[in-house]
Structure 1
Amino acid sequence: MRNLLLNKTKKDFAIALIIASTAAIAYKFGVQERRRSTFQEFYRTYDADKSYERMKKMGVFDSVNKMVEEGHLTK
């Protein structure tokens, strides 16, 4: 019974450390790396000018459409 709390705390701390490390490694490889590769693929093929023109034609930018009508920008 001597040092029971101390010994149990050491054991519980070691178990918690192992579980937390395992969860962190699983998150890194299961979520973070997959997300990173998805973003890299997206930005490798992303054309900002093409996307801007598509959104402008759809009327997303109200101020751009007004500037085109006023003659400040050309289509």
Structure 2
Amino acid sequence: MSSVIAKPVMRGLLAKRLRLHLAVAFTLSIACAGAFKVAVGDSRKKAYADFYKKYDAMKSFEAMRDAGIFESVKPRK
């Protein structure tokens, strides 16, 4: 006894699969963006804030001036 295999439904198949794939892609992209923000963005923002809490621009300028980096400023003797 042979059974008859039903024909696959082809009408609307692309639209149905596209909706599913777009929803999955959108969800994954939002999740990856959030993970990147938490893992990289927040830690980088904290590192910059910590650096500039202790940063003294005049002290840095004087160190570079004494090292002779600037051509327009003479080093102190």
| TM-score, length basis structure 2 | 0.82
| Identical columns (%) | 36
Larger-gyration structure (1/2): 2
Instruction: Give 1:1-75 correspondences, 5 Å limit.
Output: 1-65=10-74, 75=76
Structure 1 runs of 4+ off > 2 angstroms?
Answer: none
Aligned residues: 67
Give the number of the structure whose residues are more often helix, by fraction: 1
Specify which structure has the bigger relative contact order, considering alpha-carbon pairs within 8 angstroms and separated by 6 or more residues: 2
Amino acid at match of 2:13: L
Q: CA RMSD for the aligned pairs? A: 1.1
| Gapped regions of structure 1 (runs ≥ 5) | 69-74
